[in-house]
Amino acid sequence: MNKVQRALRALRGHYDGDTFKVGSEAPFRALIGCILSQRTRDENASKAADALFKLASNPIEILAIDPETLKKLIRSSGYYNLKSAYIIGACKVIMDKFGGETPKTREGLLTLPGVGPKTADIVLSYGYGVPAIAVDTHILRVCRRIGLVEKIAGPTEVKNTLEGSLPREYWCYADSAFLELGKEYCKPKKPRCDDCPLKELCEYRKAT
């Protein structure tokens, strides 16, 4: 059993697998939610998404909104000028190239403005139920600290390490569990090392 598998085993003893559901969100909402979540807190992104989707819930409806109104609706997410441009651009590509449907492949999603690898993987996982590990800052930090990857490893290396070490059916659980661990225990400042379910495996805890 490799270290990634040992870490997952410990996490499965701490986090209920039923808590994390793949394919639990409409793909288009997952997409827009990810764009709004960039460089802001989850609660700010959720507030902006709720405001937007009360008025428009698909690409056609969003494109019908006046750009200034769109900016006001998503203001709480921050960087609203840039994000509104991404949303409008993504909606136009979806309409022009994908027949109004959110792309179902990673390659297709990556052609949308404002969409990077993490967003594409989140849409695939939570929107379409396609197993994927979407590496964000929390997962990156956790994997570096525990010692699953080198301290200088980037998101692509972390993704390849996790997906290459685990059966595909565990990817979505691993993604969510490592994410929650980063938020709850392995925080950027003042991590809760002594309470962490991975404390026995963690190189960071041993060093500090």
d(CA 22, CA 109): 18
pLDDT, position 175: 92
Spell out, as residue ranges, where the chain has pLDDT lower than 70: 17-24
Scanning the chain, the segments in alpha helix (DSSP H) are: 3-12, 27-37, 42-55, 59-63, 67-73, 80-97, 106-109, 117-122, 128, 137-146, 155-165, 171-184, 203-207
Q: Which of 83, 118, 121, 175 is catalytic?
A: 118
- Please tell me the number of Cα atoms within 13 Å of 5 on its side-chain side: 8
d(CA 168, CA 164): 9
Q: Is 118 a catalytic residue?
A: yes
- Please tell me the number of Cα atoms within 13 Å of 143 on its side-chain side: 32
Q: What is the DSSP letter of 200?
A: T
Domains of the chain by start residue, with CATH: 3-19+133-207 (1.10.1670.10), 27-128 (1.10.340.30)
pLDDT, position 22: 57
What is the C-alpha radius of gyration for the chain, rounded to an integer number of angstroms?
18
Q: What is the pTM of this model?
A: 0.87
pLDDT, position 19: 56
**Residue 162, token pair as written in the block:** 């996790």
**Residue 133, token pair as written in the block:** 């590990």
Q: Which of 121, 136, 159, 175 is catalytic?
A: 136
- Closest by Cα among 2, 100, 17 to 60: 100
Q: Is 54 a catalytic residue?
A: no
